[in-house]
Amino acid sequence: LGARSQVGYGKIILLGEHSVVYGRRAIAAPIGLTVRAEVVRGEPGQAPVITDWNVDGSAQETISPDVSHQVAALIAARLGLPESGVRVDVFSKLPRASGLGASAAFAVALIRATAECFSIELSDEQVSSLAFECEQIVHGTPSGIDNTVATFGRPILFKKTDAPSGHEISDIVTPHPIPIVIGLSGVHALTAHTVAAVRAAWLHNRARYDAIFDQIDSLVGEGADALRRGDTAELGELMNINQGLLNALQVSSPELEQMVAIARRAGALGAKLTGGGGGGAIIALAGPAGAEPIRTALHQAGYTTYLTEIR
């Protein structure tokens, strides 16, 4: 049997990161960048081996080797193949520790490719729920939004619930594609760390932080309506307010604040950090002048950008 190759999608969170961990709503969308896993059957009687990582052409790990092996072992065990000897090559277009969902995309790609290699049929729900277990290894108390977008690959409104699936999701369909610039701060930040810091603050003063989470939740509700109408001016304003509240949660950083300011000055209708924060990436909603001035301004300040669209 030849190699089986499958992808998981990277994502941006448009509105609602962190508060989504506490049962509030969030909006996320896939981006063009993916993680691809290539799986071949190896010598039976052995644990899975990850032979090679390739991030955008160079050899480096997107997530730590230790964690990725734990993830691979969990997937093999859950699929009933603990000692099937699979060998895995990973090709990532997603930079590591950037808040763009590389770990969830890796899990989804590996689950799908391993299942295909052994002719195991899995529904998308099964893929996503196993990827959720993998995310628990990577970052403790995930909301489930990253693995959901990595699996389904379309824009969603997401809420964690007590339902058996663990969440409610609804599709977000926009009347026209919405251009987004992603800017990388170059500072690696682990979502596990910022999620733990927010939890510590919340445990210390729940009422104070619950009030912030509730405010973010109402921005998300308004944002879903704005997206469905294609109202980018409104969406941009909501993103800016969300950034202020993420700053209040202390998950922003000097680099992220600088990038947000640069993007707004270059005509962005809205700009905010995306994902875990503490470093990682920002997203900027392009205005009438388009994405190029925003990209150019960020490049001049030394930051890497990607262009994506919500569609």
Residues annotated as catalytic are: 146
Write out the two tokens for 249.
Answer: 């949660």
Task: Give the x-and-dash track for 92-121 against ligand MEV (CB under 6 A).
Answer: -------x-x--------------------
Q: Does 260 participate in binding ligand MEV (rule CB under 6 A)?
A: no
Residue 144 C-beta: closest distance to ligand MEV, Å: 7
**Options 36-44, 143-151, 169-177, 212-220: segment touching ligand MEV (CB under 6 A):** 143-151
Q: What are phi and psi of 146, to 5 degrees?
A: -65, -50
Q: Which residue has the tokens 């990277």?
A: 10
Q: Residue 176 — φ and ψ, nearest 5°? A: -150, 155
How far apart are the C-alpha atoms of 120 and 219, rounded to whole Å?
41
Which residue lies nearer to ligand MEV by CB, 8 or 276? 276
Residues 6+ apart with CB under 8 A from 231: none
Q: Is 20 in the site for ligand MEV (CB under 6 A)?
A: yes
How does strand 87-92 pair with strand 49-55?
Answer: parallel
Q: Which residues contact 123 (CB under 8 A, 6 or more apart)?
A: none
Kindly tell me which of 90 and 149 has the beta carbon lying closer to ligand MEV: 149
Residue placing its CB nearer to ligand MEV in the complex, 38 or 146: 146
Q: How many C-beta neighbours within 10 Å does residue 275 have? A: 29
User: Interface with ligand MEV includes 62 (CB under 6 A)?
Assistant: no
Report the distance separating Cα 41 and Cα 118, nearest Å: 8
Quote the CA–CA distance of 153 and 7 in Å, as a whole number.
10
Verify binding: residue 255, ligand MEV, rule CB under 6 A.
no
Q: Does 275 bind ligand MEV (CB under 6 A)?
A: yes
Shortest Å distance, C-beta 10 to ligand MEV: 10
Q: Of 6, 8, 4, 15, nearest to 235 (Cα)?
A: 15
**Shortest Cβ 97–ligand MEV spacing (Å):** 11
Q: Which is nearer to ligand MEV, 13 or 88 (CB)?
A: 13
In sequence order, the β-bridge partners of residue 46 are: 84
Residue 281 CA to residue 292 CA, distance in Å, equals 18
**Which of 95-118 are b and which e, b meaning 16 or more Cβ less than 10 Å from the residue's Cβ?**
bbbbbbbbbbbbbbbbbbbbbbbb
The span of 11-19, 120-128, 230-238, 252-260 binding ligand MEV (CB under 6 A) equals 11-19
Residue 142 lies near ligand MEV (rule: CB under 6 A): yes
Chain length of the chain = 311
| Residue 189 makes contact with ligand MEV by CB under 6 A | no
The reply to whether 63 sits near ligand MEV by the rule CB under 6 A is no
- Which of 109, 115, 146, 178 touches ligand MEV by CB under 6 A? 146
Instruction: Please say which residue, 18 or 272, places its beta carbon nearer to ligand MEV.
Output: 18
Part of the chain binding ligand MEV (CB under 6 A), chosen from 14-22, 30-38, 46-54, 77-85: 14-22
Calculate ∠ Cα 259-25-215, nearest 5°: 70
Helix (H) or strand (E) segment spanning residue 102: helix 102-117
- For ligand MEV, give the closer residue by CB, 146 or 237: 146
Answer yes or no whether residue 195 interacts with ligand MEV by CB under 6 A. yes
Nearer to ligand MEV, 122 or 196 (CB): 196
CB of residue 44 to ligand MEV, shortest distance in Å: 36
Q: Which residues bind ligand MEV (CB under 6 A)?
A: 13, 17-18, 20-21, 99, 101, 142-143, 145-146, 191, 195, 275-276
